[in-house]
Chain A
């Protein structure tokens, strides 16, 4: 019988606690998404290394991520999207911004982040198209 401060306490499920309540699933997906973002960073660093090795090596890497790793990349994209979306949704909690003595609403803070995210994505995509 587990005790704390001399009284019985219900033990927690250390390994599957997040399955206990549906509320915890989006949180765990948000945490899990970090692994996919990390994985993409590794793929990107690998691509940079291949780029330094010459055109043939870089083209081989490009072919690999477009063909064999296509579905993995798509999965990474979905998780990276969820990662950004879920973190932007909680930005008002970490950024209590005041303007002219009043709190800026959470919707405004989230909206500004989403807008900047959209602009940055369009810029990166445009550069990609120009480069291609």
Chain B
């Protein structure tokens, strides 16, 4: 609970946008008495509870797991539940995540992101149909190591907000979706690389990435989408040359495309 005696007054400049009333977003300032242990989300919750009930924003878990409270904080994409006020200046500029359409105030539209995720078919495509009687599909710790860090993604979309390439081309598949595709391509249980190839190796995917690396820097779960994309580029280049040198592999891959679950 808020303790006024220990509070530090922090000015939050929050971007407001009501599509029914506003032509453009504008900023509104709030003076918030912040406690030492508060994260930015606590300050925004304070505004909602005590100062302005019309403010719209998303949040859920308050512990960097759900990935729903991403915002631009002084120009940097962050989870607001993961950003301590004590580490910030007295004036904090809060905006909705960049590179996304704004529905209202700090709430962005994420349909495009969900469509991009679905486009890379991020689930295991087994080589052949397996039954329960077949038992577990074993995987060694070493095989898990190949992709384990990529499984930590919480779809918070901060990487899309940090990526200048997404800003320039909103149809770019983007960091998280490509990292997820690469995660399944590296999974020893998966045989869906050929199924994902047309999307991943397209002009809207890995070749659109210019390796700025900002996506990896802002990730709150230390996923490294920039690394995944560069590795996917190398794999796609290998596939391209293999299709010339070993055309029978290309034929096998095409046959495999019919095996979608």
Contact = CB atoms under 8 A, between A and B. Distances in A.
Contacts of A96: 146, 227, 231
B87 to A, nearest CB: 18
Given A5-B101, A9-B100, A23-B214, A94 B109 contact: no
A24 B101 contact: no
A9 B217 contact: no
A7 B101 contact: yes
B80 to A, nearest CB: 19
Given A1-B24, A93-B224, A7 B231 contact: no
Nearest to B167: A12
A27 B101 contact: no
Contacts, number: 76
Given A14-B168, A17-B167, A24-B164, A8 B17 contact: yes
A18 B164 contact: yes
B109 to A, nearest CB: 5
A3 interface: yes
5 contacts: A8-B25, A24-B214, A27-B212, A94-B233, A94-B234
Given A8-B19, A93-B226, 11 more contacts: A4-B112, A5-B101, A5-B112, A7-B103, A9-B101, A10-B102, A23-B214, A24-B212, A31-B210, A93-B224, A96-B231
> Can you list the 8 inter-chain pairs with the closest CB atoms, starting with the nearest?
A7-B101, A93-B227, A12-B167, A94-B230, A9-B101, A101-B142, A4-B101, A27-B212
